[in-house]
Structures are given as C-alpha cells and as structure tokens.
Amino acid sequence: MLNMKDIMETMTMIQEEHLDIRTITMGISLLDCCDTDIDKSCEKVYEKICRLAGNLVQTGEEIEKKYGIPIVNKRVSVTPIAMLTAVSGGDPVKYAHALDKAAKKIGVNFIGGYTALVQKGFAAGDRELIESIPRALAETDFVCSSVNVGSTKAGINMDAVKMMGNVVKEASQLTSDRQCIGAAKLVVFCNAPEDNPFMAGAFHGVGEPDCVINVGVSGPGVVRAALSKLPKDAPLSEVADLIKKTAFKITRMGQLVGSEASAKLGVPFGIIDLSLAPTPAVGDSVAHILKEIGLEQCGTHGTTAALAMLNDAVKKGGVMASSSVGGLSGAFIPVSEDAGMIDAAEAGTLTLEKLEAMTAVCSVGLDMIVLPGDTPADTISAIIADEAAIGMVNSKTTAVRVIPAIGHEAGEVLDFGGLLGTGPIMKINRKSSSVMIQRGGRIPAPMQSLKN
C-alpha cells in the first residue's frame, strides 16, 4: 500500500533537496564489431550503438514523466576501444569520431569507453590509443576517455603513468580555447570498476553482458537536509545511522528507475551506483554534509574521519536497499562540481595534500581539480602515481582527473559551466619528481594481492 508520508517525503527530496537520478547508462559490448578494416569496424560500432541505444533518451524521459523523478543524464559506455584497435590497426581517432557521431544521433550527454587497460603492461593497440587521446578529445564533443594504470593484483605500470602526465597536459593544451575541457573528459584509474555508470570514467568491461543498464543515483542534498534536523550533540553513531537510513531510501528510488528502464528497453538491469555526486547548486554538496557532521569547513582537521564515516554509511544503506549495488558507490569529492569544496579551496582550507588524504576513504580520488597551466607533465604523473598507490595498497578504486589551466596561475578560476562547475586553480608542490617518473618500469603488486 502507498504511504502518503513516504510520497510527500520523496517529493520534498526532489523539489527542495536536489535528489535526482544522475544517470542511466547503457553499457554496450563492441567485441563483435572488431574487423581488420578499421572503417568497417567503425561502421559496425556506429550501427550497434544506434540500434541498441536509439530509445535510451526517450525511455529516460518517459520514466521522468511517469514518476516525477529527474533523470539528469542519459549516457552510453562501450568496450575499451583499445581492444578494437588491436584488431583493426589504423588511427584510433576514427573510433572516437564514430562514437561521437553515434552519441549525437541518439541524443545522449556523454559516451565513455575511449579506454585502455594497461595495469600490467601494454597489449596491441594500447599505446596507439593512449597517444591519440588528446586528439580524440579535442576533435569530439561527447567522447570521454579513461586509462587504468594499476591494480592491487598487478601493481602500477609506471611507464603508463609517465605517458599519462604528457597526455593530460596535451589534452588541456589542445582545448585551451575551450577552458581546457579535453582534460576534464579524461580519467586515470587504479582498480577501475567495469560497471561504473559515471563519466568520464565509464567503460563496458569485458566481463559484462552484451548490453546492460546501470543507474547512478545522487543525493548529497538529501543527506545534508536529514542531518540538519539532528541535534548538534547527537553522537556520531546516530549520525552514521541516519546517513545509512537516508541512503536506503535514495537507493530504493534508483532500484525502481533501473528496473523500469530495463523492462522498457528489453536489456538486463546491471547495478545501482549510489554515489553522493555533488553539483555546483547550493545545498547539493558533499562538503556541506561534512559541515553538518560538525566541521567549520571542509578541509580542516577531522575531514578525513567524517568522510570515512559518510562513505561507509552510504554503502551500508545502499547494500540493504538493493542486491545490485555496484560501480563506485559512496561519496565523490570533485572540487569544481561542489559548491562547498569550491569555497574551501578558495579559502585555503582545502589543499591538494588534504584532498589526497581524503581520497584514501572516498569513492574515487582527485577529481575535477584545476592545476596551474605551467605544471610539468612529470608532476602530473607523480600525482597520478600517488593516487594509484593509495588505490593499490587499500584495494580500492582511485582516480585522477586534473586539468592544467593553460595560461593561468594558482588563485585564478576556470569556469566550465553546467555540471562541471567552476574550478579554483590550486597550488602545487614545485619540487621535482622527474627522476622517479623517468625511471619507468613497474611498482610491484603489494602483499595484499596474495589472497588466493
């Protein structure tokens, strides 16, 4: 039986607390699109995406109207394109154009999967794809790219880390006339999940079905609003319990949308990614949740502990609400996309070093962080290596999405607009890491990898 109190509570969450389905993402396998002729392969890629995802946007809009639930983004993720390049050879950017053309045809917001998985070394097609990433992102509008450079099982491929510093820098340089947007569509992972529906890191893993629907739910505003009603002297165990109960309610909504989309599109329902993904909107901020927990401002002492509790409680609530929780699930801390994080960075409370500490306990890593334009490529590689080490040793996903603001200095601002928000340019440590990065090779897998 429908409970009027529950209905009114959900309406309040949507109308006043920024609750939304952040994305429904269709994952599509392109393994059957391989061909020794790259042009034929690109034709197959375009045809399959358009055939399977042609009704994705319309379906999302129908569900929005039926339930009154905002679905902000409709997206597609595909098999890592490096796997297709290994067969076809040729210029990988042709695949990027095919993906972009398909995205425009079906009307999605982003398409992810211009990806290489090189945690243990380079297979055929991997180097070519990685070297082509800056061009691919500069010449397309909707394509997103990711590279997995490490894992707990494999260690860290430092040759790939060295390459990615240059790739990130070049991606910014080639799009410097567009707020360096190329680097904002590129993520470097350790322990990348195969079912993540969030961009820019989404790709369709080789262990996934031929086609699947994954849902990403977001509700930092809902969690903040719930905590604001709790007495300031309530013990942290009560705070964690309230976060858990709120996450349960949010996840149930995601389960409904995912099941409905699966039935309408005739493809399996994969996972719900319950991630507190913020927006620049006031009140829709993970940093503001941390303030409700009891911090004067995000970045001060106690931030890492508060974030750890938040992340854990979100996962516990989500797992109780659905047997299909996956992806990243937890709390995101993208600086440019979070009003509270922006304020803290501009005030100097939130530094790059503090953000790195926070990534040890959050869902992803250093996300949407703007660096001075003259940051050396080796320094970017070293930032990537640090994050990969946190992920490798702690058996968790970590990622780096940093944007060197070409022509700009620390203290200035880069404005991306929309969900990507506004990024204050953060100070970096100017001491060199060049000798370590230029060594290359591989950081061996840790003892934690020996679990068999």
pLDDT tens profile 80-133: 999 999 999 999 999 999 999 999 999 999 999 999 999 999 999 999 999 999
Which pLDDT score, from 0 to 100, does residue 276 have? 82
The structure tokens 């604001």 sit at: 228
- Residue 110 sits at the vertex; the CA angle it makes with 328 and 117, to the nearest 5 degrees, is 55
Confidence of residue 18 (pLDDT cuts 50, 70, 90): low
Question: pLDDT tens digits, residue range 199-239?
Answer: 899 999 999 999 999 998 887 888 888 898 899 999 999 99
Burial 314-352 (b: 16+ CB within 10 A, else e): bbbbbbebbebbbbbbbbbbbbbbbbbbbbbbeeebbbb
Evaluated on CA atoms 175, 178, 181, 183, the torsion sign reads positive
Which pLDDT score, from 0 to 100, does residue 4 have? 45
Give the integer Cα–Cα distance in Å for 121 and 165. Answer: 17
Q: How many alpha carbons fall within 13 Å on the CB side of residue 361?
A: 17
Confidence of residue 437 (pLDDT cuts 50, 70, 90): very high
Which pLDDT score, from 0 to 100, does residue 13 have? 56
Class of domain 27-190: alpha beta
| Residues 228/285, Cβ–Cβ less than 8 Å | no
All CATH 3.20.70.20 domain ranges of the chain, comma separated, are 27-190, 220-449
Which pLDDT score, from 0 to 100, does residue 14 have? 56
Question: pLDDT tens digits, residue range 369-416?
Answer: 999 999 999 999 999 999 999 999 999 999 999 999 999 998 888 888
C-alpha closest to that of 143 among 115, 121, 116, 164: 115
Q: Please check whether the domain covering 220-449 is classified as CATH 3.40.710.10.
A: no
Mean local confidence (pLDDT), 33-48: 96
- Residue 221 sits at the vertex; the CA angle it makes with 6 and 286, to the nearest 5 degrees, is 140
Rg (CA), the chain: 21
| Residues 201/399, Cβ–Cβ less than 8 Å | yes
Which pLDDT score, from 0 to 100, does residue 355 have? 92
The burial of 213, by beta-carbon neighbours within 10 Å (0-12 exposed, 13-18 middle, 19 or more buried), is given as buried
Is residue 61 scored above 70 in pLDDT? yes
The burial of 449, by beta-carbon neighbours within 10 Å (0-12 exposed, 13-18 middle, 19 or more buried), is given as middle
Span between the terminal Cα atoms of the chain, in Å: 47
Helix (H, G, I), strand (E, B) or coil at 412: coil
C-alpha closest to that of 188 among 240, 150, 131: 150
Average pLDDT of every residue of the chain: 90
Lowest mean pLDDT among 73-77, 122-126, 314-318: 314-318
Give the integer Cα–Cα distance in Å for 189 and 235. Answer: 36
Report CA-CA distances (Å) from 84 to 78, 116, 148, 164.
11, 10, 17, 21
Retrieve residue 199's tokens. Answer: 């961009």
Give the integer Cα–Cα distance in Å for 62 and 46. Answer: 25
Beta 186-190 vs 398-405: how paired, if at all?
antiparallel
Report CA-CA distances (Å) from 429 to 166, 285, 298, 420, 438.
18, 27, 21, 25, 18
In the chain, count H helices and then E strands: 16, 14
Is residue 3 scored above 70 in pLDDT? no
- Residue positions counted in the chain: 452
Question: pLDDT tens digits, residue range 265-275?
Answer: 999 999 998 88
Give the integer Cα–Cα distance in Å for 114 and 137. Answer: 9
| Residues 191/396, Cβ–Cβ less than 8 Å | yes
The structure tokens 């053309």 sit at: 101
Confidence of residue 283 (pLDDT cuts 50, 70, 90): low
Which pLDDT score, from 0 to 100, does residue 10 have? 55
Question: pLDDT tens digits, residue range 123-165?
Answer: 999 999 999 999 999 999 999 999 999 999 999 999 999 999 9
Is residue 305 scored above 80 in pLDDT? yes
Mean local confidence (pLDDT), 178-195: 94
Catalogue the E-assigned strands of 168-266: 186-190, 211-218
Which pLDDT score, from 0 to 100, does residue 11 have? 53
Rounded to the nearest 10 degrees, the angle between the axes of helix 236-265 and helix 56-67 is 120
Retrieve residue 6's tokens. Answer: 């529950």
Which pLDDT score, from 0 to 100, does residue 64 have? 86
Which pLDDT score, from 0 to 100, does residue 448 have? 83
